[in-house]
Each structure stands twice: as structure tokens, then as C-alpha cells.
């Protein structure tokens, strides 16, 4: 089973790594223009889309869990109907985003603070990239479906292809056609639709025979749709809690001073890098747990979870050692600002313990998604956010300052892992083999 886990995890890790790399390339392209305002423009514009697509992440997670369970049941009818439902919701969601672009614009730029020039360029970026929404959501949905089908190679191919097209198109628009941040937006727009076309081509190549199992009358099966909506609503609440926590963390960092805001922003990258790697195993958990839940194979379910947590330990220990031993050196890879590097040193301890504290929450997330045990996931985030993180911050911020903010974040992550472990017997292992 370890080979099966790695076969699913490694392509997902590669796919995840492409996400921050693309952001770095976009920043590098803008960073070599004559003014820093172009960096600010894609930073603000990109942040808006990060929040939008984080909200719609239920399309990938919900789809992978339900598809994996249908795969485990060998229920070809539900497999193809799940594909149809998720793509329909992606199309409707994408068109809704386009229709609401003006209210999204007004709300986003009311909340975000930038200079007049930066906001003007960011709006230009926003109003181009917004038309990629149907493609972006479609890719999320079909990638979740591929993962549910135990196929993590196709999402990897799509992610790599999108990044190549995006980088190439952005370079042409900016350096050959003389465009600025709008050129990066056009590059993203083209790449997203190219990625969607490739996704459909891969689906057509391997899975088109599944359409023979299409039963139109079952497409709008009331019981199935209710469960789909219920699970995805819980996932949305969970995701909003995560967004709120990190937004609150950033806002409180900014209240201390600009240096601490920069310090905490840089140090959070350590957490994100580790999460990108661990999420590869979380995606493997979605596929395997969903399959064994669907086939009601309790023995293999328990074995898969045990091995997944073993891999979580295996990857967290070297990261912990690296962060403790080489944390200072890693700072130089992220910034050359001496004030930020000096100010960050006292807080490296918190980053050092992040891997061993957080891996359980990341792995359990994949397990719960595969089992579509969304109620426990939702309740865990509500408790960890509003009963642990927020009270801890207000209790610790006064005496500990920024250390209190980091301790509150660590307690948030730790409580997620502990609560998901406590809820597992009644949420995951609820059937007999």
C-alpha cells in the first residue's frame, strides 16, 4: 500500500509546488519593470482571486470524496453523474463570479488598501482575469474528480501545462507586446482555458466510455444532491474559518508595526511550503479513504490511515530539523532586508515546531474529505478558531506580544489535529467490513 500512497502523493506534491513557483515567476516578471507599482497591482489582484477560489475549494474537495466513494463501490453511474454535477456547479459558479464582478470589485478594493495608481492597475488586472473563472473552477472540479478516480497524474500534467502556458504567454505579452500587469492577467486567462481544454482531452482519452452509464433521471437525484450540498456547505464553513484565521493573523501583525508584518509574512511561507508537501499525502488520503469507505473495507481503511500518518511523521521530522538548524539561512532566501531578518530571529522557534504540530491536521483533513465526514471537519474548525485561537490571542497578546500571536496560531493548528483525532472513531470508522 505504500507504493499506492506514493503513486498518488508524489504527482500531487509536484502539482502543489507549481502554485508558489508561478506566483514567484509573475512577481519576477513585474519586478523587472521600471516601477514597483506593477508588483503591487498583481499582489492585490491576485489576493482577490485567492480568496474567491479558496471559497470555491469545496468543488475539488467535495468532488474527490464523493467520486472516490463511488469508485470504491464500483458504481459507474454515480461516478459519471458526479463528474456531470461538479462540472455543472463549476460552470454556474464561474458565471456567477463574472456576473458579480462589480460588487466583488467594490467590496475588495474597499477592504484592500493601496495607492491610487496601484489600485487602478489592480482593477485592470481584475477585470481581465475575472473571465477565467469558469475555467478555473472547472479545473478544480475535474482535478478533484481525477483524484477520486485514483489518478493524480492527470492533475499534475494539467498543473505543469498551465504553468508553462502562463509563464510563456506572460513573457510574450509583457516583453514582446509591451504590456504590464494586464499582460500577466491575459497570460493567466489563456492558460486557464488551455488547462481546461487539456483536462477535457485527458478525460476523453481515458474515461469517455463512462458516459454509457449516464442515467439522466438520476442526475438530479434529490437525496444525492442534498448530501452533496450539505457536505459542501460544511466545507465552505471550514474554509471560511481558515481564511478568517490567517486574515486575522495578518491584520494583528500589521497592528504591531510594519516590520513585524513583514516578519510574520515571511515566516508564514515556511508553514505554507510544508503544507504544500504534506497536502500531497492529504490528497492521497482523499482518494484511498474514499475508495475504502465506498467499498466498506475497514481493514484497508485503517491500514491506509496508519501508513499515511507514518508518512506524515517521516516528512515532518526532517522539516523540523531543517527549520531549527537552518532557519536563519532560509530567511536569506526569502528576503535581503537586514531589519526583517534580525527581527525574525526570535520567532524562528515557532516555525521550528510547525511541522510536527501541523502534519496531523493536514493528513486528517484528507481522511475526512475522503470519508465525506464534513460535520466533524466543520465543527473542528469552528472550535479551533473561535474557542482556541481567538481567546488564546487575546489572553497571550498582552504579556507576550508577537510571541503570543504565534502561540495562538500553534494552538489553533494543534487543536485541529487533536479534535480530528477525537472525532475520528464516530466520524470515519462508522461501518463494518
DSSP-assigned states of every residue in 171-214: HIIIIIS---HHHHHHHHHHHHHHHHHHHHHHHHHHHGGGGGG-
Write down which residue in 220, 245, 264 finishes a domain.
220
Instruction: Calculate ∠ Cα 21-24-25, nearest 5°.
Output: 90
* Longest pairwise C-alpha distance within the chain: 65
Q: Are 212 and 352 in contact (CB under 8 A)?
A: no
Same domain, 315 and 358: yes
Q: Is 258 exposed, middle or buried (0-12, 13-18, 19+ CB in 10 A)?
A: exposed
Same domain, 200 and 243: no
18: cell is 507549481
Distance CA 277, CA 274 (A): 5
Same domain, 59 and 5: yes
Please, which pLDDT band fits residue 20 given cuts at 50, 70 and 90? low
50: cell is 485567492
Q: Are 400 and 407 in contact (CB under 8 A)?
A: yes
Distance CA 375, CA 369 (A): 10
334: cell is 526569502
How many domains, in total, are found in the chain? 2
Task: Give residue-wise pLDDT tens across range 308-362.
Answer: 999 999 999 999 998 888 877 777 776 666 777 788 888 889 989 999 999 999 9
Q: How many CB atoms lie within 10 A of CB 70?
A: 23
Same domain, 15 and 85: yes
Mean pLDDT for all residues in the chain = 87
**Is residue 277's pLDDT more than 90?**
no
Write down which residue in 197, 220, 243 finishes a domain.
220
CA end-to-end distance (rounded Å), the chain: 18
Distance CA 18, CA 5 (A): 20
DSSP-derived secondary structure letter, 345? G
Task: Give residue-wise pLDDT tens across range 45-103.
Answer: 777 888 888 888 888 888 999 999 999 999 999 999 999 999 999 999 999 999 999 99
**Is residue 229's pLDDT more than 60?**
yes
Same domain, 230 and 210: no
Residues ≥6 apart with Cβ < 8 Å to 66: 78, 82, 148, 228, 231, 290, 372
Domain residue limits at 203: 1-220
Distance CA 399, CA 46 (A): 36
Same domain, 406 and 258: yes
Same domain, 138 and 256: no
Same domain, 34 and 52: yes
Write down which residue in 220, 243, 261 finishes a domain.
220
pTM of the prediction? 0.85
Same domain, 355 and 416: yes
Q: Are 357 and 414 in contact (CB under 8 A)?
A: yes
Same domain, 303 and 321: yes
Please, which pLDDT band fits residue 256 given cuts at 50, 70 and 90? confident
Same domain, 38 and 96: yes
Q: Are 5 and 304 in contact (CB under 8 A)?
A: yes
Amino acid at each position: 500500500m505504500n507504493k499506492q500512497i506514493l503513486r498518488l502523493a508524489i504527482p500531487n506534491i509536484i502539482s502543489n509546488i507549481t502554485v508558489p513557483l508561478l506566483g514567484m515567476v509573475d512577481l519576477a516578471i513585474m519586478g523587472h519593470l521600471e516601477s514597483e507599482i506593477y508588483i503591487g497591482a498583481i499582489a492585490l489582484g491576485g489576493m482577490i482571486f485567492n480568496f474567491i477560489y479558496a471559497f470555491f475549494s469545496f468543488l475539488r474537495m467535495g468532488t474527490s470524496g464523493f467520486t472516490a466513494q463511488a469508485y470504491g463501490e464500483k458504481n459507474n453511474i454515480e461516478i459519471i453523474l458526479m463528474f456531470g454535477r461538479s462540472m455543472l456547479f463549476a460552470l454556474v459558479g464561474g458565471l456567477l463570479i463574472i456576473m458579480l464582478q462589480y460588487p466583488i470589485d467594490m467590496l475588495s478594493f474597499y477592504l484592500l488598501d493601496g495607492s491610487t495608481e496601484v489600485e487602478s492597475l489592480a482593477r485592470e488586472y481584475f477585470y481581465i482575469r475575472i473571465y477565467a473563472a469558469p475555467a478555473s473552477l472547472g479545473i478544480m472540479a475535474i482535478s478533484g474528480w481525477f483524484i477520486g478516480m485514483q489518478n493524480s497524474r492527470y492533475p499534475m500534467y494539467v498543473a505543469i501545462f498551465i504553468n508553462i502556458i502562463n509563464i510563456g504567454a506572460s513573457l510574450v505579452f509583457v516583453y514582446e507586446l509591451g504590456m504590464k500587469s494586464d499582460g500577466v492577467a491575459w497570460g493567466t486567462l489563456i492558460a486557464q482555458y488551455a488547462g481546461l481544454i487539456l483536462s477535457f482531452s485527458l478525460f476523453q482519452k481515458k474515461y469517455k466510455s463512462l458516459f454509457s452509464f449516464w442515467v439522466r433521471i438520476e442526475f438530479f437525484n434529490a437525496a444525492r444532491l442534498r448530501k452533496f450540498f450539505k457536505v459542501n456547505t460544511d466545507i465552505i464553513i471550514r474554509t471560511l474559518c481558515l481564511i478568517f484565521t490567517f486574515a486575522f493573523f495578518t491584520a494583528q501583525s500589521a497592528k504591531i508595526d510594519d516590520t513585524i508584518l513583514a516578519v510574520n509574512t515571511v515566516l508564514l511561507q515556511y508553514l505554507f511550503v510544508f503544507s504544500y508537501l504534506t497536502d500531497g499525502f492529504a490528497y492521497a488520503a482523499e482518494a484511498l479513504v474514499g475508495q475504502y469507505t465506498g467499498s466498506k473495507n475497514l481493514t484497508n481503511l485503517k491500514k491506509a490511515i496508519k501508513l499515511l500518518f507514518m508518512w506524515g511523521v517521516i516528512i515532518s521530522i526532517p522539516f523540523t530539523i531543517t527549520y531549527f538548524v537552518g532557519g536563519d539561512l532560509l530567511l536569506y532566501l526569502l528576503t535581503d532586508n537586514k531589519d526583517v531578518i534580525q527581527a525574525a530571529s526570535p520567532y524562528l522557534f515557532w516555525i521550528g515546531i510547525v511541522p510536527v504540530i501541523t502534519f496531523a491536521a493536514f493528513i486528517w483533513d484528507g481522511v475526512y474529505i475522503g470519508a465525506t465526514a464534513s460535520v466533524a471537519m466543520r465543527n473542528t474548525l469552528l472550535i479551533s478558531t473561535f474557542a482556541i485561537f481567538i481567546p488564546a490571542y487575546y489572553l497571550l497578546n498582552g504579556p507576550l506580544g508577537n510571541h503570543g500571536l504565534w502561540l495562538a496560531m500553534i494552538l489553533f493548528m494543534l487543536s485541529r489535529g487533536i479534535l480530528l483525532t477525537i472525532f475520528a472513531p464516530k466520524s470515519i470508522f462508522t461501518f463494518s467490513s
